Structure formats: C-alpha cells, structure tokens
C-alpha cells in the first residue's frame, strides 16, 4: 500500500479492496485509572473490532457511541463498519490493517517488552519507550497532544520542554497549564508527540498537515489505531509506538509494544 496522504484516502483504499472480510466481533470497554500520586482519574472508552487474529481499537468520548453497536455490527461485513460512526471506522480499519500485516511479523518493528509490575511501573516503562522515539529532544519544545502525566515526565527526563495539550485536562500532575488549543502548541513546537486518539476524533489530518508544513518530527503513540498510525510512517509521521489490544493497562504481566522509525527497511 502506497503512503497515504490523509486518513480518508487510506480508508477509501481499503474500501476499494475486493473481498473484504467479515468483522467477527465488535465490543466495548469502559476503563478508569488513577495512578498513585496523581489527582486525575483517566476515564477511557474503547470500541474494538476483531478480524481474524487481529483486534482494532479506537477510544471515543462519552456519548459518541451507544454500546448497542456491539450487537448491531458483530458479524457484519467490514465494509459496513468502514461506513459507520467515526470510532467504529477507525477500529475496523485498524483491525483490517493489523490482520493483513501483524506488528509481530513486521521487520521494521522493534518489539519492546513492558515489565511485570504495577500500573505506575508499567506506565513509566511505556512512556519512556515512547519518549525514546523523539529525535534529540534536549532543549526543544515538544507539543504533547493527548496528555498522560508519565509521558510529560518522560519528555522532561530527556531534556524536552513539554507543551501539553488536551481537550479534557486543564493541568498536569505538577500544576502546569494544559492548553485546549491544538493550533497554539503546533505553532510553537519543535517536535510533536500525539496520541492515536487524534485518528478517531478528526484532528489527525490537521496535525499531519501542520507537521508537514513546518517540517516537524511527528511521533504517534497509538493504542487507538496502532496499525493505522503505522501506515503513515514516512508520510509525515517520523516514528510510531504501536500498542495493539490488549493494552498494557489491562494486565500486570509482561506485554509488548512495537516501535517504528522512519527509514527502517522492510
């Protein structure tokens, strides 16, 4: 598949593919977490689609989907899901791409094992692995679009000045103001780290456009749309931390994420 320019062009290329499979199952997860030492309870809702050996995922906002979609869409042709609500489209696209090219079999992928541990230990290990994808962050302004406190800390550990941006949080664990305005931090940044949620909430194409315009490194950390994020590697995205379902927060046992860097040979 050639490098896509927008999320819609990638979606359309899959819709144009003959003999698309059936979505074996569609399900919904509501998950809350408060890490030790923090004062924020992260409330995440995911819709998930299974195709063959792969699960696709997309986080969504409260009220954006009704759980009835699970009964309505399980067992339906993939094309039906790819024409559904935005979070379902993203999860279905993610499942299709993950089935076609599993992360575990991708020669470009660097597999990182997250250790057995508490939620805090595993979150710190995960977010250090993500921050490790930033090229030369020392002394540079790093826009963080989609804030989790351990990732703010990991960026600072590498010497970066974090510019946090989030639709729901107003301050970090340390009291730093969090901007609700993505355009503000994209204009100031020397590099960008963005969550896979941007793929599902309609903001990804704008992030990608601004990073291309300003020639900014763009790192995606993706539980939502991990295989979709990978598809943009080398097309404006410089690195990806792909974490397919089941996610690290759902287990204390060792699990894996897959790191990709632009220019790694297939």
C-beta of residue 134 within 8 angstroms of C-beta of residue 143: no
* Residue 265 pLDDT grade (very low, low, confident, very high; cuts 50, 70, 90): low
> What is the Cα–Cα distance from 257 to 132, expressed in whole angstroms?
13
Longest CA pairwise span in the chain (Å): 52
C-beta of residue 179 within 8 angstroms of C-beta of residue 185: yes
Per-residue pLDDT at 42: 74
Does the pTM surpass 0.85? The reply is yes
pLDDT tens sequence across 2-36: 688 899 999 999 999 999 999 999 999 988 877 77
Q: Where are the beta strands (DSSP E) in the chain?
A: 25-33, 42-51, 54-60, 110-114, 141-145, 161-165, 191-195, 218-222, 239-242, 255-261
Mean pLDDT, residues 214-219: 97
Per-residue pLDDT at 166: 94
pLDDT tens sequence across 102-139: 999 999 999 999 999 998 899 999 999 999 999 989 99
* Residue 224 pLDDT grade (very low, low, confident, very high; cuts 50, 70, 90): very high
Residue reference for tokens 């906002």? 61
pLDDT of 266 over the 70 cut: no
DSSP 122-135: HHHHHHHHHHTTSS
Nearest to 236 by CA among 264, 197, 257, 210: 210
pLDDT tens sequence across 43-101: 789 999 999 999 999 999 888 898 888 899 999 999 999 999 999 999 999 999 999 99
Nearest to 228 by CA among 196, 260, 256: 196
> What is the Cα–Cα distance from 166 to 176, expressed in whole angstroms?
12
Per-residue pLDDT at 77: 96
Per-residue pLDDT at 62: 85
């Amino acid at each position: 598949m050639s490098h896509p320019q927008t999320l819609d062009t990638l979606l359309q290329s899959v819709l144009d593919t003959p003999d698309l499979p059936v979505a074996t199952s569609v399900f919904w997860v509501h998950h809350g977490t408060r890490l030790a030492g923090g004062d924020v309870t992260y409330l995440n809702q995911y819709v998930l689609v299974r195709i063959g050996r792969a699960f696709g995922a997309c986080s969504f906002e409260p009220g954006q989907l009704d759980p009835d979609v699970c009964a309505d869409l399980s067992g339906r042709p993939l094309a039906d899901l790819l024409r559904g609500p935005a979070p379902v489209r993203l999860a279905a696209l993610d499942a299709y791409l993950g089935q076609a090219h599993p992360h575990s079999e991708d020669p470009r992928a660097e597999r990182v094992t997250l250790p057995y541990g508490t939620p805090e230990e595993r979150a710190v290990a995960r977010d250090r692995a993500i921050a490790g994808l930033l090229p030369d962050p020392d002394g540079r302004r790093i826009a963080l679009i989609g804030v989790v406190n351990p990732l703010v800390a990991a960026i600072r550990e590498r010497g970066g000045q974090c510019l946090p941006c989030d639709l729901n949080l107003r301050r970090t664990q340390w009291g730093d103001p969090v901007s609700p305005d993505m355009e503000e931090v994209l204009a100031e940044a020397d590099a960008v780290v963005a969550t896979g949620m941007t793929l599902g909430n309609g903001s990804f194409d704008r992030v990608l456009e601004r990073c291309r315009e300003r020639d900014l490194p763009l790192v995606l950390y993706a539980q939502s749309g991990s295989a979709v994020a990978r598809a943009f590697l080398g097309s404006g995205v410089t690195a990806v931390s792909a974490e397919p379902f089941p996610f690290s927060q759902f287990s204390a046992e060792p699990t894996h994420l897959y790191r990709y860097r632009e220019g790694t040979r297939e």
